[in-house]
Amino acid sequence: MAILEIIKLGHPILGQKAEPVKEINAKLIELAHNMIETMHAAPGLGLSAPQVEMSKRLITVDLSIGERQDDLIVLFNPEILFREGKVIREEGCLSVPEVYEKIARPQKVIIKGLDLEGKEKRIEAVDLLARVFCHEIDHLDGKLFIDRLSPLKRQLIKKRFKKKAESIKK
């Protein structure tokens, strides 16, 4: 297994809708395992394939960050079937490091997707797990959490992020 590079704000793939997975093959299973390794190393609660520069509808989620094997969820082609409630909480993103903002998300969701064996899974998620699913599925739709902020706040973050990236290059 390998730790992949997590791409950052400004990379074009982060603004594009990811391609559906037509067939779960060895290459995609390897990608999923590498994503798990990358997510745990970061450390993060979730990771989407576009964040490692792959336009595939694939997410990994683990609220325990590798502590409990049963908490690990890998889903191909995940979709939200049901949303309920609204909770405003601080959120961050591995592709927008060191930026944390309060974002409104559903308190409860029901999602479906395919597991590593290609079996359909339905998961009812509340609170933090619901938030992480919504965040990662947003990535698959070409949305970052900062896209849910006001245009002014989003522009300030992008400007600050660009300035920081330029100073690192010098």
pLDDT digits (tens, 9 = 90+) for 13-49: 999 999 999 999 999 999 999 999 999 999 999 999 9
How far is 76 from 54, CA to CA, in rounded Å? 13
User: Which residue numbers are catalytic?
Assistant: 136
Q: Which of 49, 19, 24 is nearest to 115 (CA)?
A: 24
- pTM for this prediction: 0.94
Q: CB–CB of 103/89 below 8 Å?
A: yes
Please tell me the predicted confidence (pLDDT) of residue 45.
96
- Per-residue b or e along 33-71, where b marks 16 or more CB atoms closer than 10 Å to that residue's CB: ebbbbbbbeeebbbbbbbbbebebbbbbbbbeeeeeeee
What domains can be seen in the chain, in order of their start residue? 12-169 (3.90.45.10)
